Amino acid sequence: MVKSLDDRIAGAVVIVILLLCGAVAVFPLLYVLSVSITPFSEVLKNGGFILIPRAVTFDAYNKLLTESNIPRAFGVTVIVTVVGTILNLAITGLMAYPLSRRQLPGRSLFLMMVVFTLLFSGGIIPTYLVVKSLGLLDSIWAMILPNLVWSFNVLIMKSFYESLPEELFESARMDGAGEFRILWQIVVPLSVPVTLTIGLFYAVGHWNEFFQAIMYVTDRTLFPLQVIVREILVQTQQPLENAENMTPTQTLQMASVIMASLPIIVIYPFLQKHFTKGMLLGSVKG
């Protein structure tokens, strides 16, 4: 089909807009990466702005890995992310599946309770008192259990379960399968896209954990990565005239940001196709 002039102009405009949006999104990341691998003397010569590095050094990364709390904080963050995401997915699935079954007694009431928590929260102080009364302060569980279930994710997963053919469930029941067996052997294998999507939501949330660590954790050995990165960003903000006599401040800052962001950036491309599919399937009956 031959495109009209208006269609070609519209297509060109869309491409230009997308290129501009892409450039705006990539520019900050490229700037941070470039500064992090550039010798600090070069950064100073260019007034702190480097987009294409002329020389490359990994001194900032080496310093962070050997002389900071980054490795220990990285381990804490990995533990919180892995354990938290597994528990999140398990509890979310166990909540979403019964809510997706129309024969569940009191289903409307339970759904109303889920939606209510989506709109209203208990508040910071009541939540802190609950965490304290449970003895979770200064523990890794304080960064996992308070966010064990996100109501929005429960609704997405419930909608996906509702989109599955009812004949599957009826056939399984005729073969003598119980609800737990149906969930484990039928529903879970068919829910890989939405499970990966929800898992990515939870994993990113845990990886960027900051607020709860500040609220509930005072033991520095349990600080997650984002808290340590924040300390580095604050502590290295020294006057520029002292920069030659101290650690490479700006390169350290940018290197810490890259180290905190890189794992999620690396993982996302592998989950992108499942992410898009899971969101679309989960929103069919939303």
Quick check: 241 pLDDT over 70?
no
Q: What pLDDT does residue 33 have? A: 87
What percentage of the chain has pLDDT greater than the value 70?
89
pLDDT for 83 equals: 95
pLDDT of residue 243: 45
For the entire predicted model, the pTM comes to 0.78
Measured CA to CA, the distance from residue 215 to residue 194 in angstroms comes to 31
- Neighbour-count burial for 117-144, b at 16+ CB within 10 Å, e otherwise: eeeeeeeeeeebeebeeeebbebbbbbb
Quick check: 152 and 137 in contact, CB under 8 A? no
Residue 175 has pLDDT above 80, yes or no: yes
- Which token pair is 181? 């067996």
Terminal Cα-to-Cα distance of the chain (whole angstroms)? 37
Triad 264, 271, 114: Cα angle to 5°: 85
The C-alpha atoms of residue 235 and residue 237 are separated, in whole angstroms, by 6
- The DSSP call for residue 106 is T
Q: pLDDT tens-digit profile of 117-155?
A: 888 877 888 889 999 999 989 899 999 998 888 888 999
The encoded tokens of residue 138 equal: 């200064």
Q: Where are the beta strands (DSSP E) in 150-260?
A: none
Across the range 50-55, mean pLDDT stands at 81
SS3 (DSSP) at 134:
coil
How many percent of the chain have pLDDT more than 90? 19
Burial (0-12, 13-18, 19+ Cβ within 10 Å), 7: exposed
Q: Give me the pLDDT at residue 18, please.
A: 93
Residue 89 makes CB contacts below 8 A (sequence gap 6+) with: 195, 198, 199, 202
pLDDT number for residue 86: 94
Report, as an integer, the average pLDDT of 46-75.
82
pLDDT at 254 over 80: yes
Amino acid, single-letter form, for residue 57: T
Q: How many CB atoms lie within 10 A of CB 173?
A: 13
Distance from C-alpha of 272 to C-alpha of 200, rounded to nearest angstrom = 10
Q: Three-state secondary structure along 235-278?
A: HCCCCHHHHHHCCCHHHHHHHHHHHHHHHHHHHHHHHHHHHHHH
Per-residue pLDDT, 245: 45
Q: Is the pLDDT of residue 171 over 80?
A: yes
The predicted structure's pLDDT at residue 47? 76
